[in-house]
A and B are shown apart, each in its own frame.
Chain A
Amino acid sequence: MNDVTDPADVLRKRISSWESQARKGVLELVILLHLSRKEMYGYELIRTIKQGAELNLSEGTIYPLLNRLQKVGLIDSRWAEMDSGKPRKYYHLTQLGTDYLPALKEAWWEFSQSIGEMLEER
């Protein structure tokens, strides 16, 4: 087995892995953000998210997250049938979700700023 690993390559992979984890952490915020702009169905949502950034995420993992957001009342869903006859489950923000989103955004900025400040130190 080839033992020669380029250290720059190793670093790049490590950062990519970190970034993937970090994005997963804010997935709830990202989902709510997308749904605040447009009603979407699961497949559309995961595809839009993955277009934004390459996540090491199986598509299926969006469903338990949507399920949970719906359970806590931040989003709601409705089944719609397309002209082709295909059923799709569309998700949208509830009033609670709409009220919650700005607070979540605020929390994100504060968090981001505190990290930024930490990076500025030294």
Chain B
Amino acid sequence: MNPEDFLTEAESVRIWRQFFDRVHTLTRRLPQAERDDIRLEIASHLSDSVEQQDSSNETDRLRLAIGKLGDPEEFVRPMVADRLLTVGGRSMNPRAIAVAVYYSLYGGIRTTVLAIVVGLGYALSFTFAAMALGKILFPGHVGLFLNDDGPFILGGTLHPEAVTPEVLGWWIVPLATMTSIILYVGLSKALRLLKTTRSPPSL
């Protein structure tokens, strides 16, 4: 479907092409016939959507139509994954299958990895807070112990006499507290940022 056939404004045509560049990128791993099929269906949808709006401004109508359709990253990717699996299965091409599986897992793995990293981050933040509190409650047992005989200990130990010297003293309280807060705030900000870059929930 040629945009120039039914779009009259240069700006609309530009927006249209820009949108389909994104679709094109997402479908690049598919055979040409599949790419054309997806592209044509989306184009047909957009053209219907543009036609059925009231606004007289064509560019506004197209922008709204694209907005209602949603992020191509959200709805094209699962289609590509599915079709790659079908195509890959038919061709028995291991590379095609690997790519398809990657696309299928992409959404899931990203979320899982993020969850683990964030979870560990918060746990670490809590550990530092506990360290600061521990120093106040058990001053002799908490600190940074530079062990002459082995690895150093940052934290608490049941046998401080075995791991001298302790080098931070009371400085560990403000240092650990600050680290804990920085981690916590940093993680929360990062989480908010990551959540807002995700597109609206799909099926």
- Let me know if B159 is at the binding interface, CB within 8 A: no
Instruction: Check if A71 sits within 8 Å of B44, measured CB to CB.
Output: no
**Stretch from A58-66, A98-106, A112-120 that touches the partner:** A58-66
A71 surroundings in chain B (CB, below 8 A): 82, 86
Instruction: Check if A65 sits within 8 Å of B203, measured CB to CB.
Output: yes
A18 and B78 alpha carbons, distance in the complex (Å): 24
Contact size class for B?
20 to 34
Instruction: Check if B200 sits within 8 Å of A67, measured CB to CB.
Output: no
Instruction: Pick from A27, A65, A89: contact of B41, CB below 8 A.
Output: A89
Nearest-CB distance from B184 to chain A (Å)?
23
A63 and B49 alpha carbons, distance in the complex (Å): 15
Contact with A along B178-203 (1 / 0, CB 8 A): 00000000000000000000011111
- Let me know if A122 is at the binding interface, CB within 8 A: no
**Stretch from B65-73, B117-125, B141-149, B168-176 that touches the partner:** B65-73
- Let me know if A95 is at the binding interface, CB within 8 A: no
Contact size class for A?
20 to 34
Contact with B along A76-112 (1 / 0, CB 8 A): 0001000001111100000000000000000000000
Nearest-CB distance from B60 to chain A (Å)?
17
Instruction: Check if B44 sits within 8 Å of A61, measured CB to CB.
Output: no
Instruction: Check if A41 sits within 8 Å of B75, measured CB to CB.
Output: no
A64 and B73 alpha carbons, distance in the complex (Å): 12
Instruction: Check if A68 sits within 8 Å of B72, measured CB to CB.
Output: no
Instruction: Check if A64 sits within 8 Å of B44, measured CB to CB.
Output: no
Q: Contacts A27-B203, A64-B78, A71-B82; is A58 near B45 (CB within 8 Å)?
A: no
Instruction: Check if B68 sits within 8 Å of A58, measured CB to CB.
Output: yes
Nearest-CB distance from B82 to chain A (Å)?
6
Instruction: Check if A89 sits within 8 Å of B44, measured CB to CB.
Output: yes
Contact with A along B42-56 (1 / 0, CB 8 A): 101101110000000
Instruction: Check if A60 sits within 8 Å of B74, measured CB to CB.
Output: yes
B48 surroundings in chain A (CB, below 8 A): 43, 86
Counting from the closest, the 9 A-B pairs by CB-CB distance are: A58-B70, A60-B75, A64-B78, A60-B70, A43-B48, A43-B45, A60-B69, A64-B79, A61-B203
